[in-house]
Amino acid sequence: MEILKVCLLENKRTKSMKAEKTKIENMKIKEITGEPAIDLALDTIGMNKQALVFVNTKRGAEKCAEDISKKLKIENEETRKILDVLSNQMLNALDRPTKQCMRLANCVSKGIAFHHSGLHSKQRELVEDSFRDGKIKIISATSTLAMGLDLPAFRAIIRDLKRFGHHGMSDIPVLEYLQMCGRAGRPKYDSYGEAIAVASKQGEKDRIISNYMKGEAEDIFSKLAAEPVLRTYVLSLIASNFVSTEKQLKDFFSKTFWAHQYGDMSRIEHMIDKVIDLLEDYEFIMVQGRSDEKVVNKSASRSSDFVSASDVCVGSSGDSSNDSTNATKLRATLLGKRVAELYLDPLTAFHMVKCLNTGSSREKITAFSLLQMVSATLEMRPLLNVRMSEYDLVQEKLVKENDALLMDEPSAFEYDYDEFMNSVKTAMMFDEWIDEKDEEYLLEKYNVRPGELHYKLSNADWLLYASEEIARLLSHQKLLKDLSKLRFRIKYGVKEELLTLLKIPDVGRVRARKLYLSGIKDIAGVKNADLTTLTQLLGKQIALKVKKAVGEDFEKMPVSDGKRKGQLGLGKYE
C-alpha cells in the first residue's frame, strides 16, 4: 500500500511533535482488503479513533461506506442497540424511504455513514451529530463536508484528488485539498491529526507531493467580477439608497477588493456603466442628469400589453433634475426596489416580467408553464441535464406544452438551446412532484436524490414567491391565484384536488390522499366523518387531532364499535 506522507496538523498544546512525526513515518497499515482507503479506515477504528474519507462522487461515497461497513461486526450489545435506533431514524427521515435511505441505514447500523448533497437535511444533521457523539466512526464524504465543519476526525483520508469537470477528469484545487486536510486533528478534540493522501503508484505519489504537499494555494479572486453578482449589488446599492449618484456608486466600488485586485479602475467604471444601462433598460432604475442620456422613448418600442415598470416608481420630494450639482442621479423604481429586496438577479427578474406579461394576455396558463419559467433562471442552476436517451421524451413534452410556454423557444442552433431543454426537463421533474410522485420515483427516473430535490423545491418556492410579488406590482391580478396555488402544491407535492385537505394541521400529502380516496374531500367531509373511520385511515392520535382542528369536541363524540378485521376499536376515552 502506498500511503503518502501524512500532513501533520500541529498546535501549541502538542508537547512532543518530533516523536509524533517519527511515529507517523514508521506507520504500518495492515492490508486487509487491498483498498488503501478502506484499510486506513479500518485501522482508524482499531485505534478507537474517527476518520473522514473524501471521495469525488456521491455514488463513490456511498460505495466506499458500504465496503467499509461490510468488514465490520458490532459485538457490543449496547452499541448495537444505539446504532439500530440511529439506523431507524435515518431510514424514516422521509415519508417514504428511498433506496438511498435504506443504503444509509444499513451502513449506520455498523457505525459507518456517507455524506453528500443528495442526502436530506435531516439525514445530514443526524450523520454530523452522531459523528460528534462518537456513534459513527467513519464518514465517507464528498468535498461538501470539507468546508468549515468542526468534527472530531483524527484522520482525513483523501482517496481522490481528481474530479470530473467541464474538461474531463482534472485535479482538484490546492485550496480544496488544504480544506480536507484541515478537518483532521481539530484542537477541540485532538492534540494532532493525520491527513493522508493515497497514491496508486510512484509517479502519482511524486505528483501529489509536488502539486499538493509542496504546492501553493491558488489566489482568491473577488466574486464582484461575475456579471450576475455585479448586477445584483449595483441594484441593491441604489434601491437601499446607499448611493444616489453615479459618482457615489463608482467611489464605493473603487474601495472594494475587486478594484484593489483588478487595478484598472477605468475598466471597472466601464463595466459599471454597462450595468447601469442594463438596469435602466429593464426599468428597474431611473437615471437623471446623464450627459449621454437617451432621448428615445423606450416604452414606445414595447408591445401595448406590456406594463411599464417606470409606471410604479418610488416617489421623491421635489424635482431632482433641478439640482445645481449636475450629478447623474440614480433612483430605483418600485419594481426595482422589490427585486433587490427579493435578492433576485435583475436578469432573472426581467425574465419573469416578460413571462408574466405574456401570461397575463392569455385566457389560461398551466402549472407547467410557470414551472418552466422558474426553471429557466440562473438561480435554479445546475439544471437537470438532458441525456441523449431522454431527448425524444423531453422533445415530446415540449411539443405538448409548446403553446403554454411563457418564453420563446430558441433555435436549435443557438448557444442557449441546451440550457432551454434542460429547463424543460427540470420543469418536468417538478411537474411529476406535484403529480404526487414520491422521492424514490424521482430518484429512479431523474437521478435526483432527496437532498437535491428538496433544495430545488425550496428554490422553486422562492422564485414562485418572487414571481407572485412581481405580478402584484405589475397588476396581473389573475396570475396571483395560479402562482399562490402552485407554491402550495410545490411545498406539499400534491394535485390541486388535495389543497383544501392540506389546510388541516397534521395532514400531509400521504394522509390527504388517503382521506380523498375514502370520499373525504374537504373540511366539511372531515367534520361529517365518523371518528372510527378516521382512526382506521390515520391512526388514533392523528384522527383525534384532525377532529379537534376542524372544531369537533372529540371527547364527547360517541365512537361506533365497528371494527375491521384484526383491528381494535376505540373506546370512548381510549
Helix or strand holding residue 456 (H, E):
helix 450-473
Burial of 532 (0-12, 13-18, 19+ CB in 10 A): buried
CATH code assigned at 201 = 3.40.50.300
Please check whether residue 198 is in contact with residue 159, taking contact to mean a CB–CB distance below 8 angstroms. Answer: yes
Note whether 195 and 52 are same-domain residues.
yes
Residues 6+ apart with CB under 8 A from 57: 142, 164
Instruction: For residue 194, count other CB atoms closer than 10 A to its CB.
Output: 26
Note whether 15 and 163 are same-domain residues.
yes
Residue 429: which of 471, 499, 474, 382 has the closest Cα?
382
Grade residue 565 by pLDDT with cuts at 50, 70 and 90. very low
pLDDT digits (tens, 9 = 90+) for 416-466: 899 999 999 999 999 999 999 999 999 999 999 999 999 999 999 999 999
* Grid cell of 43 as nine digits: 485501522
* Grid cell of 113 as nine digits: 455513514
The whole-angstrom separation of Cα 424 and Cα 69 is 40
Task: Give the pLDDT mean for 548-552.
Answer: 83
* Grid cell of 308 as nine digits: 411599464
Residue 60: which of 88, 92, 35 has the closest Cα?
35
Note whether 331 and 426 are same-domain residues.
no
Q: Is residue 472 part of a domain?
A: yes
Note whether 313 and 392 are same-domain residues.
no
**Amino acid type, 381:** R
Note whether 95 and 227 are same-domain residues.
no
The whole-angstrom separation of Cα 105 and Cα 109 is 6
Reading phi first (left if > 0) and then psi (alpha if -120 to 50, else beta), residue 549 is in: alpha
SS3 of residue 472 by DSSP: helix
443, 471, 493 — which closes off a domain? 493
- Output the DSSP codes for 219-277: PP--GGGSHHHHHHHHHHHHHTTS--BHHHHHHHHHTSHHHHHH--HHHHHHHHHHHHH
pLDDT digits (tens, 9 = 90+) for 303-355: 333 344 444 444 433 344 444 456 789 999 999 999 999 999 999 999 999 99
Note whether 474 and 565 are same-domain residues.
no
Q: How many domains does the chain have?
A: 4
Please check whether residue 253 is in contact with residue 45, taking contact to mean a CB–CB distance below 8 angstroms. Answer: no
190, 213, 236 — which closes off a domain? 213
pLDDT digits (tens, 9 = 90+) for 255-264: 999 999 988 8
Q: Is residue 22 part of a domain?
A: yes
Residues 6+ apart with CB under 8 A from 38: 32, 64, 67, 68, 71
The whole-angstrom separation of Cα 240 and Cα 242 is 5
pLDDT at 554 over 90: no
Provide the percentage of residues in the chain whose pLDDT is more than 90: 61
Q: Is residue 502 part of a domain?
A: no
User: What pLDDT score does 403 carry?
Assistant: 87
Note whether 366 and 255 are same-domain residues.
no
Note whether 526 and 385 are same-domain residues.
no
CATH code assigned at 470 = 1.10.3380.30
Q: Is residue 218 part of a domain?
A: no
Note whether 201 and 105 are same-domain residues.
yes
Note whether 173 and 127 are same-domain residues.
yes
Note whether 353 and 462 are same-domain residues.
yes
Note whether 277 and 391 are same-domain residues.
no
Residues 6+ apart with CB under 8 A from 203: none
Q: Is residue 403 part of a domain?
A: yes
Q: Is residue 266 part of a domain?
A: yes
Cα angle 168-174-180, degrees, rounded to a multiple of 5: 100
The whole-angstrom separation of Cα 521 and Cα 115 is 40
Please check whether residue 490 is in contact with residue 464, taking contact to mean a CB–CB distance below 8 angstroms. Answer: yes
Runs of H (alpha helix) within 314-388: 334-341, 346-360, 367-375
CATH code assigned at 263 = 1.10.10.10
160, 188, 213 — which closes off a domain? 213
pLDDT at 146 over 70: yes
Q: Is residue 501 part of a domain?
A: no
Between residues 63 and 415, which one has the greater pLDDT? 63
Answer whether the bond into residue 505 is a cis peptide, omega within 30°. Answer: no
Domain range for residue 229? 223-341
Q: Is residue 435 part of a domain?
A: yes
SS3 of residue 197 by DSSP: strand
